[in-house]
Amino acid sequence: MDIVTDTLSALWKVLAVGILLGAGLPALYALGLRSMNSGRTVNADGTVSGSTSAAGRAVGLVILAVVIAIALFGIVVIVWGKQIFGA
C-alpha cells in the first residue's frame, strides 16, 4: 500500500501549500486593500467619511505588487520548475 501512503502524503503537501498560498495570498491582498483605504471610516448609517492617506495608498500598492509577484513566481516555478531547478 506504499502507493496509497505516497498519494496521501502528496495530498497533505497540497493542503499545506494550499493554505499558505491559497489562503495567504488573498489575506495579503485584503491587507493591501485595507491599507489603501486607511483613513476612511464607515459611519453607522453606512456613509463613508474621511479620506485615504498617501502613505496608506503607497503601502497598499506595495503589498498588492508583492501579491502579484508571488503569484507570477508561482507560475514560473510550476511551469518551468523542473528545467530550472532539476527534478
Counting contacts by CB under 8 A, is residue 55 touching another protein? Answer: no
Query: Does the protein bind another protein through residue 86 (CB under 8 A)?
Result: no
Q: Which of 17, 55, 58, 61 binds another protein (CB under 8 A)?
A: 17
Specify whether the CB–CB gap between 38 and 52 falls below 8 A. yes
What is the grid cell recorded at 68? 502579484
Three-state SS for 87? coil
Q: How far is the CB of 55 from another protein (least distance, A)?
A: 17
Our finding on whether 82 is near another protein (CB under 8 A) is yes
Question: Residue 49's beta-bridge partner residues?
Answer: 41
For residues 80 and 84, give the distance between their C-alpha atoms in angstroms, rounded to a whole number: 6
Q: Which is nearest to 70 in space by CA: 78, 60, 58, 59?
A: 78
Tell me how many residues contact another protein (CB under 8 A). 44
The reply on whether position 65 binds another protein by CB under 8 A is no
Q: Which residues bind another protein (CB under 8 A)?
A: 3-4, 6-8, 10-11, 13-15, 17-27, 29-31, 33-34, 36-37, 40-42, 48, 67-68, 71, 74-75, 77-83
